[in-house]
Structure 1
Amino acid sequence: MKMTAVSIKLALYVVISVLAGVVVVNTLTDPIGHATDDYHAVFTDAAGLINGSDITIAGVRVGTVSGVRLENGLATVDFDLREDQRIPADARAVIRYADLLGARAVAIVPGPGGAGDLPPGSTIPVERTAPALDMTSLFNGFKPLFNAIDPKEVNQLAGELVAVFQGESGTIASLLRHVVSVTATINSKDQVIGQVLDNLTAVLSTINSHRDDLKALLDGLATLTDNVAASREQIAAALDSGAQLAGTLSDLLGDLTPTLTRDVRSVDALAQTLLRNSDGIDAVLAATPGFFADLNRAGDYGSWINIYICNLSVTLASTPTDLGVGPHSAVCR
């Protein structure tokens, strides 16, 4: 029972997949949907035609290309046409652009009429066929015009150009109206173009009035360049000397680093000592004016002050400085 349910689900999946595939293939291939007759046409150039390209009469899709082959230096295009459609015996086959993306289609253009119809299997000779228009040459010729108009109008104008040059005379009036519109757009910008030209004239006039200064500037630059080129050896030597000096300074700093470090540490220790004894230093500084005042009074009365240093020892930043064993004065001996 379980296997039966699995089989049913598998069958449904296969059927749905096949139907979806058929729909996709039918959508992509876009079949004619009628019985067809085969015809042939010979072209000097059939570039862009592939199997499935459209065959149109009066703009209506009535067939598809079934094959393209090379025979005697000419391209023979095989195509299938709906059997309810007929090709006049004097009809022409023209390869046209189906869109601006490059797709091609074969258009059957009826002749004057009265010559009957081509029987199925017939071939339209090369004398009554025309290859596709060379779009590259066409649009290169209109490139300045395309650069001057609004980008939104380029596609419309390009389509009308292709239609006109492929023989669809009904669009000539539309093309002319579009060209007139483009001309009006360019004419509306005449004032802006005139201002640009006036500004350019002013710039050129200014440059022309200072042509001697400009020439002198250019000559000076040329002289400077020549002098730099002539002194390139001295400049290179100076750069080398600078590099050598930098290296020497680096070595000197490397040698002085230990000593500088020690000195900086000593200064730091001195500063710490002075900071710790700031109260005593403040007291000494405060008593100094009185001391000198008393000393001055003693000198005023004619007294003589004799100071004998029998021994002196100074401690600076925890480093004692001793003048040696005294006494140094004869009075102290």
Structure 2
Amino acid sequence: MISSELDAAGVTEPSLREAYRQCRDVNAAHGKTFFLATRLLTPRQRPAVHALYGFARGADDILDQFDDRDVEQRADELQQLSKKLFAGLVQDEPCDDNPTLTAVVDTARKYDISWDLFDDFLASMRMDLTVTDYPDRKSLEQYMYGSAEVIGLQMLPVLGTVGPREEAAPYAAALGKAFQLTNFLRDVDEDLRRGRVYLPADELAAHGVDRDRLLWCQREGRVDDRVRAALAEQHAITRGVYEQARPGIDVLAACSRPCVAAALTLYSEILDRIETIDFEIFGRRATVGKPRRLAVAVAGLGKAWASRVRSGSA
């Protein structure tokens, strides 16, 4: 399967093919919902998406893996990653010692994805080294632009659009933000263990909630009424962002719509799950079950195949 995808994408050089294979393996192992959605893309699009995922995952692992590295060590690793990416993408130097960078640089060149989008992403990753709380939504939005919105913007050239790319950009950015806001809600418990809260402090405070109250819930393994009300408000805000993003599906190239529609459906159903468990997100993880994920994928496959038949790319 992977060989046919690489053939379709025009990747022929053996070491480059291996670099893309490694990115695909990372995506399959760590981003199961996202990986399932990529199966709805055309074979030629998939390697590029896997490369973008692999790069983002690698940067995230520098920050979030539970090990004995201190902040200075993580900062140095992130800086080295940034330097190597800049050297490869802007200065045309080889990235032979890093297969993920090799693949993502090739993708960025092929699809004209600018260095600025990667630089903005890495700037938000650096924020995670020292920033543990966000006083208001404006400060959180600043972080999310680099950590989530630019991911949607990086993906846009790979997905393709029916009109000018800049018209589709706000929708792509909104979808990246919606996905991340969903993760913030689902992962409050896990993020607290890393010392972080990704919910605006002033909006929590309006319900009488602060970090100490969240830590109390974590210790008790349950939410109280104040935290439940605060999470419900964040839940509603996230729903609104999905609605902002949804019209963007229609401005994508037809071959990409089933994939993005499936991803939107599955991620928004994580919100359904959070609501179903009455916001009891401590000690449990809201997930969409495998049967449901497969059902959405099967439905999407039918639409993807029909699209390819119409375009003559089946």
Instruction: Tell me the TM-score normalized by structure 1.
Output: 0.21
More strand by share: 1
Q: Which has the higher helix share?
A: 2
Q: Who wins on radius of gyration, i.e. which is larger?
A: 1
Which of the pair has the greater relative contact order for Cα pairs under 8 Å at 6+ separation?
2
Q: What's the TM-score, normalizing by structure 2?
A: 0.21
